[in-house]
Amino acid sequence: MTSRRPQDGDVQLEPPVARHADVVPAVEDRSYLIFILGALAMALLAGFLLSVVISLALSGTITWGEERLPQMTQAHGWAQVQGWAGLFVAGMALRLMPRFAGRPPIRTKVTVPIFVLLFAAAAGRVVAQSSPAGTAAEALLVVAGLAGAAGAAAVGAAVGYTLARGRKRPEPWRYFAWAGAAWWAVWAVLMLIAAFKGARNDVFVPARLDDAMAWTVMLGAVGNFVFSVQSRSVPVFFGRRLPSRRKLAPPGVLLNAGALLVLASGLPFDGPVSERLLGAGLALAGAGLAWLAPVAGSVWGEAKRLRPRARAAARYVLAANITVLMAGALLAWAGANSVVSGEFESFGARDAARHALGLGMITMLIIGMAQLVSPVFALERAEARPAGLEDHLAWWSLVAAIGLRVIAALAYAHIETGPRMHLAATAGVLAWLGLAMFAFSVVRAVRKEPRMKALLATAAGVSDSGR
């Protein structure tokens, strides 16, 4: 083997297992880890805990926090969407988009401040909306909105700059990435609007605006980055060719057109206009999601291109895309009903779709793709040992949580509130347990990484000396 001097524009990555004269060393970006850990903290300490508390309060099992249930419900939703999904997706987008575009990693002096802003925004909103009345919650909500707007705008700008300066190739993932960057900029504006409106209304954001924001973020800001990464990676895992622009363009247009109509529904229209806009947006986005799941991701097959140890993680990807199919069908049906009637229709189907996307597409895909593409799991992916007890426990806990939460939502108007909320609370506990097992695996991988690198580097040195 002959050594080669690095050329201008080369992306130099630190060798994961060995160092020798033929390898040009460089520093690998590690800031994505703080996004992962921050997202896990928001989900475990706020999002899923609040889901259990709110469900038990609605069932009458506990009385704590009854007077603040509307605000706490919004806090739960944004702890999940902004804290769990937003932080994780932002961290992985800032790490993966430069690699996809052939650019050097984004520097930590950019990524770390973005993390601080986004984490402070999510935590601040949760605290503000969960605090008793009469505190400084209004001021905290405004500060959280300002921080979140700055952080979201920075994510959109960093990704947009990376794509603009990257290799100009007509790859389909790039269009989803551009759309995702644009939606993060839109999200920045929405955070400001929601913060000031909520501060004038006992830290409760108007329900129509909050609902439109939540769907816009899940479909636009999060959904586009999800399918950008999936279309670039997942088909290869399952031994298929990457999808072409022609195959991805129609569902991509449906997804983003739907998100635009959902966003428009948050405007102060009179009469049935708002509900028809929201319904049309959900119907279009639902059709786009159901189309994208098998084309950009995978809903069947075996991940033959992965090592045996990594195939356990691929089942999260399959489960995520199967729930996307289900959520897409539910959204298309519920949205069509609202378009026809001009009224809020099919609450159960909407709630089921929201949690299928939140627990299914977002949570399952986060866990699966983190284990498949994050460097911290690289050495575990190469191990010969099968998945351990904690891996199986995380998987089955999350699958059960998705099933129970969707059933609880679809049972709306069919069974009484108490039993339905007990199902939702059980789903929250199971989801918390599954995510805690994933957090344990992250900590384990971080702690094992230096030792595994040292062992593999020693083995490589012995091999070289024996030549």
**pLDDT at residue 266, rounded to an integer:** 87
Q: Domain range spanning residue 209?
A: 32-445
Report yes or no on 453 lying in a domain.
Answer: no
Q: Decide if 365 contacts 226 (C-beta within 8 A).
A: yes
Q: pLDDT band for position 347 (50/70/90)?
A: very high
Q: Which pTM value belongs to this model?
A: 0.87
Give the CATH number, domain containing residue 411: 1.20.210.10
Comparing 377 with 414, which gets the higher pLDDT? 414
CA atoms within 13 A on the CB side of 443: 10
**Sequence-ordered list of residues with C-beta below 8 angstroms from that of 109, at least 6 positions apart, any chain:** none
Q: What is the pLDDT of residues 165-186, one digit of tens each?
A: 988 777 899 999 999 999 999 9
| Tens-place pLDDT, residues 294-339 | 999 999 888 877 777 777 888 999 999 999 999 999 999 999 999 9
Of residues 69 and 133, the one with the higher pLDDT is 69
Q: For residue 19, tell me if it sits in a domain.
A: no
3 occurs within a structural domain? no
Q: Which of 415, 391, 397, 319 is closest to 360 using CA atoms?
A: 319
Q: Is 199 part of a structural domain of the chain? A: yes
Residue 460 lies in a domain: no
Higher confidence at residue 294 or residue 22?
A: 294
DSSP codes, 169-207: ---HHHHHHHHHHHHHHHHHHHHHHHHHHHHTTTT---H
Instruction: Answer yes or no: is 11 within a domain.
Output: no
Both tokens of 396, joined, read 């089955």
pLDDT in tens, 217-256: 999 999 999 999 999 999 888 888 899 999 999 999 999 9
pLDDT at 455 over 60: no
Q: Whose structure tokens read 């108490």?
A: 418
Residue 249, SS3 per DSSP: helix
For residue 29, the model assigns a pLDDT of 64
CA distance 229 to 92: 9
Domains held by the chain: number: 1
For residue 8, pLDDT beyond 70 = no
Instruction: Output the CA torsion 325→211→433→324 (10° steps).
Output: 10
Is residue 463 scored above 60 in pLDDT?
Answer: no
Q: Tell me, what's the pLDDT at 380?
A: 65
Asked if residue 269 is part of any domain, the answer here is yes
